[in-house]
Amino acid sequence: ETGVTQTPRHLVMGMTNKKSLKCEQHLGHNAMYWYKQSAKKPLELMFVYSLEERVENNSVPSRFSPECPNSSHLFLHLHTLQPEDSALYLCASSQAGKGTEAFFGQGTRLTVV
């Protein structure tokens, strides 16, 4: 498999549940990202990992907890979410260099009930 793969594609969870989103990139990139896409809003950057170190936490609530065990994998651990957290969560990866584009996965459509 090539590119950026996200699982699951769809997730429905209750506010008291704990779940994790997974992202895997097969491109040999050294940076990975989590973005949140809510309806009628621009994509919001949540977290950035460069060489497996978190380099940005964009004022994201602590109920979202990222993990990057190696350069190919990125997780987003979710607990005690709120209904307003329902959104499409997109993972992306890129390689060092100003001109290089980020490659995105297909996203996880999360619904919090």
Partner 1 sequence: AQKITQTQPGMFVQEKEAVTLDCTYDTSDPSYGLFWYKQPSSGEMIFLIYQGSYDQQNATEGRYSLNFQKARKSANLVISASQLGDSAMYFCAMRDPNYGGATNKLIFGTGTLLAVQP
Residues that bind partner 1 (CB under 8 A): 9, 30-31, 33, 40-43, 45, 48, 50-51, 55-56, 88, 90, 92, 94-107, 109
Angle CA(40)–CA(38)–CA(103) in degrees, nearest 5?
105
CB of 16 to partner 1, least distance (A): 27
Strands 73-79 and 87-94: unpaired
Residue 16 or 70: the one with the smaller Cβ distance to partner 1 is: 70
Residue 81 or 107: the one with the smaller Cβ distance to partner 1 is: 107
* Tokens describing residue 87: 């959104």
CB of 97 to partner 1, least distance (A): 8
- The Cα–Cα gap between 98 and 113 comes to 40
Residue 5's identity, in one-letter code, is T
Residue 81 or 108: the one with the smaller Cβ distance to partner 1 is: 108
Can you tell me which residue has the tokens 């709120």?
82
- The Cα–Cα gap between 95 and 39 comes to 29
Residue 18 or 100: the one with the smaller Cβ distance to partner 1 is: 100
CB of 105 to partner 1, least distance (A): 7
